[in-house]
A = this chain, B = another copy of it.
Amino acid sequence: MKKKPNLIQNLNNITRESEKKKRILSSAIKVFGEKGFQNATIAGIAKDAGIGDATIYEYFKNKEDLLLAVPVEITKELIPNINDHMMGIKGAFNKLRKFIWWWLNFVEKNPGYGSIVLLEIKTNRTYVSTEAYQAARNFYQIVLDIIKEGQEEGTIKKEIDVYLARSLCVGAIEHIIIRWLLKDRRYSLIQYADPLTDLLIDSFKTLELEGSERMSLTSKGKCNPKE
């Protein structure tokens, strides 16, 4: 009674369905990101998406499933995207700098997504074992790879535990992001990219690097060559 399906629409069915799914996901990011998981309602997300409540259950098992779908789906696009950005960059430290900048920039542009991952998913006991949690964490595999690369190329101390080094990177980034998310968000996130990277490089770099490679890394000329 509502709309007669025709051939073309049927042909497009597959894509159209995923488009509606994306619309739901988009509204979910928005609403979950603004209100948090508990305070968000299915009705609210459905209304934002311009669909009926029950329609959400056509695409997602339940409210939790919808929340968890966010990082799973988004990460699918995120990792190719960051990999694309990484191409052509040489050296672990240059890559690290790029990654940190890229991540801070992405969250600043997509605070809803950042909220969901950092405020909802990553601190919820029940989500540790889910695919969503893995997806979010796998994202940081990139950092691990960078550190390993640095060790292989000799710029990062070999005696450093790579997982601890990753914790240092990720912990600092996330800490800065979380503070920003909880505040008024009026200041820019990306301003932290370079200073933070500098600190991390100082922490990781082999001693021989002093005064040499680092020079080319710091944009602000903060480094102090030995002589």
Contact = CB atoms under 8 A, between A and B. Distances in A.
| Integer count of this chain's copies in the complex | 4
B207 A203 contact: no
A224 interface: yes
A101 to B, nearest CB: 15
A51 interface: no
A178 interface: yes
B119 A36 contact: no
Interface stretch (A3-11, A72-80, A164-172): A164-172
A199 B195 contact: no
Question: Size band of the A side of the interface?
Answer: 35 or more
A128 B182 CA distance: 7
Contacts of A200: 168, 203
Contacts of A175: 167, 170-171, 174-175
A41 B188 CA distance: 39
A89 interface: no
B128 A118 contact: no
B199 A160 contact: yes
Contacts of A168: 168, 171-172, 196, 199-200
A48 interface: no
Nearest to A225: B207
A224 B226 CA distance: 17
A36 B176 contact: no
B203 A36 contact: no
Interface in A164-215: 164-165, 167-168, 170-176, 178-179, 181-183, 192, 195-196, 199-200, 202-204, 207, 210
